Structure 1
C-alpha cells in the first residue's frame, strides 16, 4: 500500500503546483484594475451584493453611513452586525460616508462649512461644522464599525453625494482620512430612473467605458429606483470586466 500513498502524495503535489502556476499566470495576465465601491443606501440589495462578490471572488470597498434601511432599522444597528462582520472576514475594505450622511452645502464665513445631515437628531437642518465637529462625523463611523466588528475602517471617507469643497476635503485630511470619490465612468447609475436608464443601458455603458484605475460607485440599495440595479447588473458587469482583463482591488490604492 506504500506505493499508493506515495502516488497520492505525488498527485496532490502536482495538483497544487498546477493551481499555483495557474494563479500566477492569471495574475500575470491581469494588467488592468477596477475598484468597486458601494455606499450604504437603503441596504435593500445588500445581501445580493455580498453573495455576488463572494461567488465571483471579488473584493470591494464599502463606504458606511448610519442610513435608514428598507426594513426599517439603520445600517449600523446591531441587526446588521453579522453582515459587516462577514464582509470584513472575506477581506473587503471599509470607509466612512459620515455617520449621519451629512451633505456639504457651502463654506462658512470663518473656516467652517455648512452641511445638512440626512439622519440623526439634526436631520434636514443645515448646521455649521468646524474642523472638530466635522471630524467627529467622519470618525463616528470608524468608532461604530469597531464596536460592531472589533476592527477599524481604512482611513478613507466619501462625502455624501460627492459634494465637497477644498475646505471640507482638507478637514477630512486633517482628521486623518483621505477623501475618495469616483471616476466619471464609474458612476454606475443605480440611483437614476429605471425608465430612462434601464439596467441593460447601464450595464452596456459601464462594461464598455470603464478603464484601468477607475473607481466605481453604486449603493447597497436605493429608494429612487423602481427596477433595482443589483443583482441584475452587478454580476454580469463583473463577468464582462473580467473578460476585458480587469482585476478588482480595494481602496486606498496604495494598499493594492
Structure 2
C-alpha cells in the first residue's frame, strides 16, 4: 500500500506542476471535443489527427503508448453492473494481467464488493466522474465536485485515498476540463482501441469482441471496453492468450505515465 501512496504522490506532483505550465490562451479553451480517432490497421497505431493530438499534448493527456514497444493497456468503463465483471476479474487473475477500471459513483455504491476485489487483486481504480455528466458543460466548481465527490466516496468505501487517472464520460471534453483536471492532480486517459460494446441489450457473441480487439491491436494501444457486455467477458481469455502469443505484454497506466513523463523531459 505504501508503494501506491508514494507513487500516487509523485503522480500528483508531476500533474500539478505541468498544470501551471499551461495557461489558457483563447476561446478555444472552452471548445467542446468529442474523442475519436482513425482505428489501427495491420498493427499501425491509431491516429487521432493533428488537432486532437495537439490538444492532448498541451495538457499531457494520453491515448496511446510507445509505438515501438509491444505493450498494451487494458481499461474498462463501469457505469453499472450487469453481471459480467466477476468473470472478467477471474480471467485477469488467471492470466496475471492488471487493468484499470474507470468507475462512476453509482458503481461504487451498487457494486462495492467488486470494487474492493479490484483493489485487493492489484487493479487500478480510475475516476469516470461521480454522476457521468457532460464534463465540458459544467462550470469549474461542479466539474471539480464530480471528481472529488467520487474520490470521497471511494475513500469511505475502500480506504483508497484518491484517484489519479480520469476519463470523461462519453469522451466529451474541452481544454478547460483537461487544464482543471491537471491543476487538481488528475491525468486524463483516453483510448486508441474501442468498438461498440456499451449496449447491454446488444450481445453479439465472443467472436465479435475478439475480432474487433485483434483487428485493432497495435503497440502502445490503450484498450477501452465496457463490462456490461457478456461478449467482452467471454472473449477475454482467448484475447489475452493470443495477444501474449504475438509478443504483447499487458502494462499498467502507472508504467505508461512514468514512461510518458520521462519521454517528455528528454
Give yes or no for TM over 0.5: yes
CA distance in 2, matches of 1:179, 1:87: 21
Corresponding residue for 2:148?
Answer: 139
TM-score of the aligned structures, taking structure 1 as reference length: 0.67
Superposition pairs of residues 106-117 of structure 1, within 5 angstroms: 113-114=136-137
Corresponding residue for 2:113?
Answer: 82
Q: 2:128 aligns with which of 97, 122, 143?
A: 97
2:177 aligned with 1:175:
no
Residues 155, 176 of structure 1: 8 Å contact kept: yes
| Cα offset, 1:255, TM superposition | 4.8
Specify which structure has the bigger relative contact order, considering alpha-carbon pairs within 8 angstroms and separated by 6 or more residues: 2
Secondary structure (helix, strand or coil) at the match of 2:222 reads coil
Superposition pairs of residues 48-87 of structure 1, within 5 angstroms: 48-67=87-106, 75-77=107-109, 80-87=111-118
CA distance in 2, matches of 1:158, 1:169: 10
TM-score of the aligned structures, taking structure 2 as reference length: 0.64
In our comparison, the structure showing a higher alpha carbon Rg is 1
In structure 2, relative to structure 1, the CA distance for the partners of 1:221 and 1:162 (3 Å cut) is same
CA distance in 2, matches of 1:157, 1:214: 17
Residues 94, 153 of structure 1: 8 Å contact kept: no
Structure 1 gaps, min length 5: 1-30, 68-74, 105-112, 115-128, 223-227
Residues 64, 96 of structure 1: 8 Å contact kept: yes
Superposition CA RMSD, Å = 2.1
Corresponding residue for 1:152?
Answer: 161
CA distance in 1, matches of 2:156, 2:128: 17
| Cα offset, 1:144, TM superposition | 1.2
Q: 1:204 aligns with which of 188, 211, 223?
A: 211
Secondary structure (helix, strand or coil) at the match of 2:198 reads coil
Residues 40, 219 of structure 1: 8 Å contact kept: yes
Residues 85-143 of structure 1, C-alpha deviations (whole Å, 9 max, x = no match): 22112111111000001124xxxxxxxx42xxxxxxxxxxxxxx322220110122221
| Cα offset, 1:191, TM superposition | 2.4
Residues 21-66 of structure 1, C-alpha deviations (whole Å, 9 max, x = no match): xxxxxxxxxx521110011132211111111111111100011102
CA distance in 2, matches of 1:82, 1:40: 14
CA distance in 2, matches of 1:156, 1:168: 13
The number of aligned residues is 188
Structure 2 gaps, min length 5: 1-68, 260-266
Corresponding residue for 1:232?
Answer: 234
Structure with greater proportional helix content: 2
| Cα offset, 1:198, TM superposition | 5.1
CA distance in 1, matches of 2:87, 2:233: 6
